[in-house]
Amino acid sequence: MVADVCFHDTLIDSASEVFETMMFMALEKISPEEAEMAEDTLLSSITFTGALEGCLAICCASQDAKLIAANMLGMEPEDDISMEDICDAMGEVSNMVLGSIKKRIADAVGEISVSIPCTVSGKMLDTSLGEKSNMTEEFVNLDGSLVKFQLFYKDN
């Protein structure tokens, strides 16, 4: 049952699992008051539908996305990485985190279908699923990089 799922814990546990095993980066939770998002940001999101519908969003400064992509691709942060590769890597990160979430909530929620991830860059990006949706949000320090995770969801 959806009410039995702690989406906040599920979000942070899933993100930690992916970043620690795939990018060898440790997450450290920080308070929203400590979090000051850069103006130039990159937002990767992936949606899901089924008994539960929603969106997972990962937002960070473009330079922090490059660091995440470099770790994921086994490169050095100072290596030349194209914006296309950074966006692809961030899309895959959102896909892996949502996959981990999906695995953790399957018994309580049932099957959900997942979209193709989308990554955009711009100034002061934000997300919304609309009325009657729930949201859990976590800011983390990721080896010196600030990353915001948001999980929006609502029952169908």
* 26-36 confidence digits (pLDDT tens): 999 988 888 88
The pLDDT score that the predictor gives to residue 72 is: 94
**Mean pLDDT in residue range 46-70:** 93
How does residue 2 score in pLDDT terms, banded at 50, 70 and 90? low
The pLDDT score that the predictor gives to residue 144 is: 87
* CA distances to 4, 23, 39, 71, 90 from 65, in Å: 33, 12, 14, 10, 7
pLDDT digits (tens, 9 = 90+) for 71-128: 999 999 889 999 999 999 999 999 999 999 999 999 888 889 999 999 988 776 666 6
pLDDT above 90 covers a percentage of the chain that reads 62
**Mean pLDDT in residue range 121-141:** 77
Strand partners of residue 58: 44, 149
Measure the CA dihedral 121/125/129/130, to 10°: -140
Element housing 60 (H / E): strand 52-61
CB-based contact 82:91 (threshold 8 Å): no
Q: How far apart are CA 1 and CA 98, in angstroms?
A: 19
Please tell me what DSSP assigns to residue 15: H
Domain housing 35: 2-155
Q: Is the pLDDT of residue 4 over 60?
A: no
Q: How far apart are CA 61 and CA 56, in angstroms?
A: 17
CB-based contact 80:91 (threshold 8 Å): no
The CATH number linked to 38 is 3.40.1550.10
Total of domains in the chain: 1
- Alpha helix ranges (H) inside the chain: 7-22, 62-73, 83-109
Residue 132's SS3 state is coil
The pLDDT score that the predictor gives to residue 148 is: 92
Task: Kindly report each contact of residues 107-111 with a partner whose C-beta sits within 8 Å and lies 24 or more positions away, as own/partner.
Answer: 108/1, 108/2, 108/4, 108/5, 109/2, 109/5, 109/50, 109/51, 109/52, 110/50, 110/51, 110/52, 111/50, 111/51
